[in-house]
Amino acid sequence: MKAWVIYEHGGVEKLLFEDVPSPVPKPTEVLVEIKACALNHLDIWVRKGLPIKITYPHILGCDIAGIVKEVGGEVKNVKKGSKVLISPGLPCYECEKCREGKDNECPHYGIVGETISGGYAELISVSEKNILPFPKNYSFTEAAAIPLTFVTAWHMLVAKGKIKKGDWVLVLAAGSGVGSAAIQIAKLFHAHVIATASTEEKLDLAKSLGADFVINYREEDFSKKVKELTHKRGVDIVFEHTGSTTWEKSIKSVCNNGVIVTCGATTGYEAVTDLRHVFFRQLSILGSTMGTYSELKEILKYVDQGKLKPVVDKVFPFAQVKQAHQYMENRKQFGKIVLEM
């Protein structure tokens, strides 16, 4: 099959288009013909070099939609020819955390496209347990934009942040995939949303998703604006995923007894924390990675009802993976970037 692979870490020049052996499904696996694969910042981090062990040649890509081409002999609930989504999480399904339904806390947890080869290819073979129902009335490119960002944002706001009606939520970098998902989830729970972005166009799009207030972080200090909008109170939840550039202002933006939930650090991992804010104002700083399989199935119910919608910024043909990576690194998008096979 054709696939984009890497043999070493580095820039986009390390992405190579090659013929590689087609995967052969095990008895419990499903072979999927990939129709679309959405990009995530994880793809860039893995390409540039994360401290994880991967087998070369490695194929990036964790958000995958396609058609079942073949099923293993022990597969019971997936039919050949079905349109499917793939859950990107890879728990062991056997440990204590997995049995408790906290599969994203599995000590052996991995992600498609990170710890195993992923979706920048014509085919992929995954466990039947990773197969999700295809959302109603959506194209492959739209469906591929759902799994990772929505389950990440849901887990951050619902499981970690304990979001409730009337909460004030600050969503940073609203133009990102997780940011656009977070706005919708927060509004689903009837929260007040303040969203930040770098351009007026992105701010308008954030409003179209339900943001009540928007802040251009390039033009004003978002922490001061948050205090103004909340009458000096601050927000209940800061949806943080940008890291060092925003961290100090995120701490200043949250109210007493508020929560900062973080899932990433796209602008850098080293951030300054004034601990006086943390202990005197009794703040909670919570880390979050991905989400559970059951949360993803819950999300798809709301997608089918039209209450949550994937946001696709741009679709690139399969031949233009390098251009898609450059587009993401330039932070041009609002929502998801998707490869169409």
Residue with tokens 């992405």: 15
Which segments of the chain does DSSP mark as H helices, in order?
Answer: 41-48, 96-99, 140-144, 147-154, 177-188, 200-208, 222-229, 247-253, 275-280, 293-304, 321-329
pLDDT tens per residue, range 79-118 = 999 999 999 999 999 999 999 999 999 999 999 999 999 9
**With bands split at pLDDT 50, 70 and 90, how would you rate the model's confidence at 328?**
very high
Please give the single-letter amino acid code of residue 20.
Answer: V
Domain 2-146+310-340 has CATH 3.90.180.10: yes
Q: Does residue 52 carry a pLDDT above 90?
A: no
CB distance 217 to 196 below 8 Å: yes
**With bands split at pLDDT 50, 70 and 90, how would you rate the model's confidence at 59?**
very high
Tokens for 229? 């909008």
pLDDT tens per residue, range 61-81 = 999 999 999 999 999 999 999
Domain 150-287 has CATH 3.40.50.410: no
- In the chain, where the domains are located: 2-146+310-340, 150-287
- Distance in angstroms (rounded) separating the CA atoms of residues 71 and 78: 7
pLDDT tens per residue, range 133-142 = 999 999 999 9
Q: What is the mean pLDDT of residues 236-254?
A: 95
Check residue 265 and give its pLDDT: 87
Please give the single-letter amino acid code of residue 23.
Answer: P
pLDDT tens per residue, range 155-173 = 999 999 999 999 999 999 9
**With bands split at pLDDT 50, 70 and 90, how would you rate the model's confidence at 268?**
confident
Q: Which of 232, 236, 229 is nearest to 254 (CA)?
A: 236
Average pLDDT, the chain: 96
Could you tell me how far CA 138 lies from the centroid of its own chain? 19
**With bands split at pLDDT 50, 70 and 90, how would you rate the model's confidence at 252?**
very high
Looking only at the bridges linking them, the beta strands covering 168-171 and 235-240 are parallel
- Distance in angstroms (rounded) separating the CA atoms of residues 292 and 156: 11
Q: Does residue 310 carry a pLDDT above 90?
A: yes
Longest dimension (CA), the chain: 62
Tell me the DSSP string of 192-207.
EEEEEESSHHHHHHHH
Q: Compute the residue count for the chain.
A: 341
Tell me the DSSP string of 136-169.
TT--HHHHHTSHHHHHHHHIIIIIIT---TT-EE
Could you tell me how far CA 224 lies from the centroid of its own chain? 28
Q: Does residue 267 carry a pLDDT above 90?
A: no
Give the N- to C-terminal CA distance of the chain in Å, as an integer.
Answer: 12
Q: Which of 289, 325, 290 is nearest to 48 (CA)?
A: 325
Q: Which of 127, 80, 60, 64 is nearest to 341 (CA)?
A: 64
**With bands split at pLDDT 50, 70 and 90, how would you rate the model's confidence at 26?**
very high
